[in-house]
Amino acid sequence: MDTLIDPTTGDYGLENGQLLRDQARGLGNAVYLRLMTPLGSWWADATLGSRLHELAREKDVARVAVLAKKYCEDALAPLITDGRAASIEVATERLHDGRLRLAVAVTDAGGREHLFNHHVQVG
């Protein structure tokens, strides 16, 4: 099982000095890395990543929430293609504080649903 990356700090998750394990069997890290990595910036795989970083210059309007959902779905689609996930559902929430919240529900190949929250900085 992979070590869990804490999406709020970007560091490995710790509890009592011990590394936390990803209960989603690697899906948590896969979701985090695909959403946090700018598309095309990783040398080993130009298709890994998302365009969410582009939204930092956009205003907090409804159109940007639609774009964020699309960018998120595009970034996570390879998880379905490679068989690690059966389905992915993304919902957006405008927090009106310069951030969007992406609620990502990933159903793994075994039928278990895992929920992830990801915040995107907007103008």
Please give the backbone phi and psi of residue 88, each rounded to the nearest 5 degrees, phi first: -140, 130
User: Strand 99-108's sheet: what is its strand order?
Assistant: 85-94, 99-108, 113-121
Residue 1 has pLDDT above 60, yes or no: no
Phi-psi region of 32 (alpha: psi -120 to 50; beta: other; left: phi over 0): alpha
Residue 21 pLDDT: 62
Q: Is 122 exposed, middle or buried (0-12, 13-18, 19+ CB in 10 A)?
A: buried
* 17 or 118: which leads in pLDDT: 118
Domains and CATH numbers, the chain: 14-121 (3.10.450.40)
- What's the mean per-residue pLDDT of the chain? 87
pLDDT band at 99 (very low <50, low <70, confident <90, very high): very high
Provide the 3-class DSSP secondary structure of residue 14.
Answer: strand
- 31-70 confidence digits (pLDDT tens): 999 999 999 999 999 999 999 999 999 999 999 999 999 9
| pTM higher than the cut 0.85 | no
* 16 or 75: which leads in pLDDT: 75
Residue 37 pLDDT: 95
